[in-house]
Amino acid sequence: MEEIKIALVGQPNVGKSHLINSISGATLHVGNFSGVTVDKKEVEFTRNGYKLKLIDLPGTYSFHPYTPEEKVTKDFLLNVEYDLILNVVDSNQLQKNLIFSFQVADLNKPMVIAFNMYDEYARQGGEINTDKFTKLTNIEAQNVSAKENFGLEELFDKVIKTYQEKNTPRVYYAETIEEEITNVKEKIKEIKFDKRFIAIRLLEDDEDIYKIIHEKPWYVELVSHLKSSKERIRIEFNSDDVKEIFFEERLALAKGIISQMAKKASKEKFSEKIDKVLIHPIFGLPIFLFVMWAIFQSTFSLGAIPMDYISSGFGALGNFIGGLLPNGLIKEAVVNGIIPAVGAVVMFLPNILILFLGINLLEQTGYMARAAYVMDGVLKKFGLQGRAFIPLVSGFGCSVPAYMAARTLKNPKDRLITMLVIGFMSCGARLPIYVLLVSAFFAPSIQGDVMFGIYLGGALTGLIVAKILRVVLFKGEPEPFVMELPKYRFPRLKAILFDLWVKTKMYIQKAGTFIAFAALGVWFLSSFPRVDIVKEYSLKIEQIKSSQFSSSKKQIVKLEEEMNQKILENSYIAHIGKAMAPLTKPLDLGWKEDVALLAGLAAKETVVSTMAVLYGIGNTEDTSKGLIEKIRNSIPFSAAIAMIIIVMFYSPCVAAMSTFYAEVPQMLWRLFYTIYPNVFAYIAAFIAVSLIKLFS
Amino acid sequence: MGECVKNSYFYIKNSSTHYLINYDKGRKMRLNELSMDDIGIIKKIYAKEPLKSKLLSMGFARGEKVKVLKHTLAKNTFDIDINGVNVALRSEEAKEIEIKKTEN
């Protein structure tokens, strides 16, 4: 079957991801924030005997790339083979979008335009005559609504038609400009791009194009012609910047075409009305803080409701499987090792889902960009800019996408600073550890506030560290802050549910595979070597059994517990932990906590599962609640605080670290990133423990 | 009238070498001097690249109408309407755009 390779381009927030979801039936992530489409997404489907392959490119405002993502799009359009460009346009912002469409049209490739979100536009009384548009520009166009799923089939008909006819755009500028384009074009000899396109880009001072042609033999002759051509345009348009003239030219063109093809929509006041409250000069910041507080509060309080059910469910499961398996090592490994550990991790799934839901809603409704606006003033004081807010907040969900989201920052310094402090925004996987320790050591009435305090404390520390980094290591001004505030949109239930479902599936999968194996490993390391101890105790137990006193049963249980304790104290893992003990003694941490924290470098979930195995909760009925009890009785308050602080600041998991390494090529920064959070965590925990000792 | 007094005050505070009387005459007003609900026409963009291209791609071009929808309390960050597009920018960026204030 013949394949048509289609590059999907458009400005941010025009609903490209949304459009893809509507075709394939599979819903991908749709957000309102500029730069949600970071990875290259491809969709394949068949229509009329053709295989259509859509490649979703990062949202781009113009061919003068500003962010690394915009550069990705430009590089793709220039250097990769494709058959056709599908340009998605927001019908509600025709003028701004068409300026970019005309830049794309200059490429002189077969091109189709989709006027997306046409449903909203039509509801406000707007109308677009696409036939007229095609007549004026020679670009086939279709009104579509990815949301209400109309126009898509007609769009693909037009895509196929354009492909068959190899139909290219005909968009022309003012006479003087066209004359100079032709003049420059004549001096361009062999090149793989369209000559008119190269001429336009050269007139616009496009450095990427200069780089491509500057080794050509005809370059020198061209440059002198270029100079006089630009001069003539400057004089004609009474302006000193040809690039700006081209922008204005396209704007004028867009205006002209819009006036001929579209009926204006009445202004939508919805977003403006909401903004009157949400980004109010005085109330904006308190509202934002309240929203964040509410998310963490509900993460804790609503998330606690299903906890009991999940934990008793796993308790019952442990007993049930324990009954099925014959006595022996395997039973012990499953009942004492895997099940309580997996149970302890799954118990926190509701908390994590609520947190993700909160962040997701912020993104999908468009509030996230407002939060960046509200926070910009605050972030500026710490040497960052409002845009950095998005990766930072994503960090509360998971550091991996957060590191990727930092790509929206153009300035490498800003990006690096932001990425270096993302780890201080506690990710979802760290939540279970906090929940466990906070539940064990704080009164129920203040637990939610303590949790909020932990997150806020982490975030504030991150900001202060960012400021220090800015002053000490990255001198210079933060990059300019210019950001579109997208319209408020009602979140789509389907997309959100799908997202939560994917999260749930991934979490359970992780708990069932990675965490289970890790728990098995921890169990093994904590149960061996044991031969001598088992021998010693089984002898004692036999003696009691044969003596047949009435208290013998109790004595046996006691002896068994003593045996298990002794095995643990002599186990491999105890040796590891005890080797670390001198280091963490000033922090009041015992070797079990050391081992748990060490395991946390693999994945933060394993901190809780390791504690579950080491504190031997497998024997009790109610697995996870039992763990909270045990921990309350086993470790001092100061150690709990130290542990919380270390988890807040030390290195994130392996997955996050490798993402950072992938994003930051400089070895020196990788090394710095690997070491400094751990040193920082240690010092912070030490200070906290010292303070607690001082005041108690 | 209230608006006018506010703006004049702002002006004096920012450049002590000029006099209030210059205000309505030849002085070139910048976008960051507007207050909430003020409307202006863009005269010139002084920003350097790449900020200039960014502003242009958002629709900030000569002759276009801008309206200040919101600004933060200290006028550090602005929310500007340009042709139905909401754009947030800092006063540092707004300062790079010369405008002529118009009556609603």
Same domain, A149 and A198: no
- Least CB–CB distance from A95: residue in B83, B89, B93: B83
- Chain A residues near residue B92 by CB distance under 8 angstroms: 480-481
More confident: A422 or A609: A422
| pLDDT at residue B21 in the model | 44
Residue A71 in contact with partner chain B when CB distance is under 8 A: no
Residue B98 in contact with partner chain A when CB distance is under 8 A: no
The verdict on a CB contact (< 8 Å) between B58 and A376 is no
Q: Look at residue A578 and tell me whether its pLDDT is greater than 60.
A: yes
* Structure-token match 């490498």, residue found: A412
Provide the number of structural domains found in chain A: 2
Pairing of strands B29-30, B85-90: unpaired
Same domain, A231 and A86: no
The verdict on a CB contact (< 8 Å) between B76 and A380 is yes
Residue B45 in contact with partner chain A when CB distance is under 8 A: yes
CA distance readout (Å), A116 to A3, A22, A243, A686 = 24, 12, 28, 56
- Give A539-597 as a DSSP string: HHHHHHHHH--TTHHHHHHHHHHHHHHHHHHHSHHHHHHHHHHHHHGGGT--HHHHHHH
The rounded distance, in Å, linking the Cα atoms of A596 and A434 is 14
Instruction: Say if A153 falls within a structural domain.
Output: yes
| Chain A residue with minimum CA distance to B56 | A247
Same domain, A14 and A124: yes
What range defines the domain where residue A159 resides? Answer: 2-165
The verdict on a CB contact (< 8 Å) between A483 and B88 is yes
The rounded distance, in Å, linking the Cα atoms of A537 and A547 is 15
Q: Look at residue A540 and tell me whether its pLDDT is greater than 80.
A: no
More confident: B7 or A244: A244
| pLDDT at residue A18 in the model | 80
8-state DSSP, A430: G
Do the Cβ atoms of A610 and A599 come closer than 8 Å?
yes
Helix A175-187 to helix A242-261 angle (10° resolution) is: 130
Mean residue pLDDT across chain A: 84
- pLDDT tens digits, A328-347: 778 777 877 777 777 777 77
The verdict on a CB contact (< 8 Å) between A377 and B72 is yes
Same domain, A84 and A57: yes
Lowest-confidence pick of A584-593, A615-624, A633-642, B77-86: A615-624
Give the number of other Cβ atoms within 10 Å of residue A47's Cβ: 14
Q: Which of the given ranges, A268-272, A564-568, B84-88, has the highest pLDDT on average? A: B84-88
CATH number reported for the structural domain that contains residue A237 in this entry: 1.10.287.1770
Instruction: Say if A550 falls within a structural domain.
Output: no
**How many inter-chain contacts (A to B, CB under 8 Å) are there?**
121
CA distance A136 to chain B (A): 22
The verdict on a CB contact (< 8 Å) between A244 and B52 is yes
CA distance A90 to chain B (A): 11
**Which A residues in the span 300-319 are in contact with B, Cβ-Cβ below 8 Å?**
none
Q: How confident is the model at residue A438 (pLDDT cuts 50, 70, 90)?
A: very high
Same domain, A111 and A70: yes
DSSP H helical ranges for A26-151: 68-79, 94-105, 118-123, 130-137
Domains and CATH numbers, chain B: 28-102 (2.30.30.90)
Same domain, A20 and A84: yes
Indicate the residue type of A367: Y
How buried is A251 (Cβ within 10 angstroms: 0-12 exposed, 13-18 middle, 19+ buried)? buried
8-state DSSP, A15: -
Give the number of other Cβ atoms within 10 Å of residue A513's Cβ: 11
Give the SS3 label for residue A360.
helix
Lowest-confidence pick of A258-262, A565-569, A668-672, B2-6: B2-6
The verdict on a CB contact (< 8 Å) between A279 and B89 is no
Q: ipTM surpassing 0.90, yes or no?
A: no
The rounded distance, in Å, linking the Cα atoms of A2 and A444 is 64
Q: How confident is the model at residue A684 (pLDDT cuts 50, 70, 90)?
A: very high
Q: Residues for chain A: how many in total?
A: 696
Do the Cβ atoms of A7 and A55 come closer than 8 Å?
yes
CATH number reported for the structural domain that contains residue A58 in this entry: 3.40.50.300
Pairing of strands B65-71, B39-45: antiparallel
* Interior angle at CA A332, CA A331 and CA A337, nearest 5: 115
Range list of β-strands (E), chain B: 29-30, 39-45, 65-71, 77-82, 85-90, 97-102
Closest by Cα among A33, A34, A53, A52 to A42 = A53
How buried is A522 (Cβ within 10 angstroms: 0-12 exposed, 13-18 middle, 19+ buried)? buried
Q: Look at residue B73 and tell me whether its pLDDT is greater than 80.
A: yes
Kindly state the average pLDDT of the residues A70-90.
Answer: 91
Q: Look at residue A35 and tell me whether its pLDDT is greater than 70.
A: no
Q: Look at residue A549 and tell me whether its pLDDT is greater than 70.
A: no
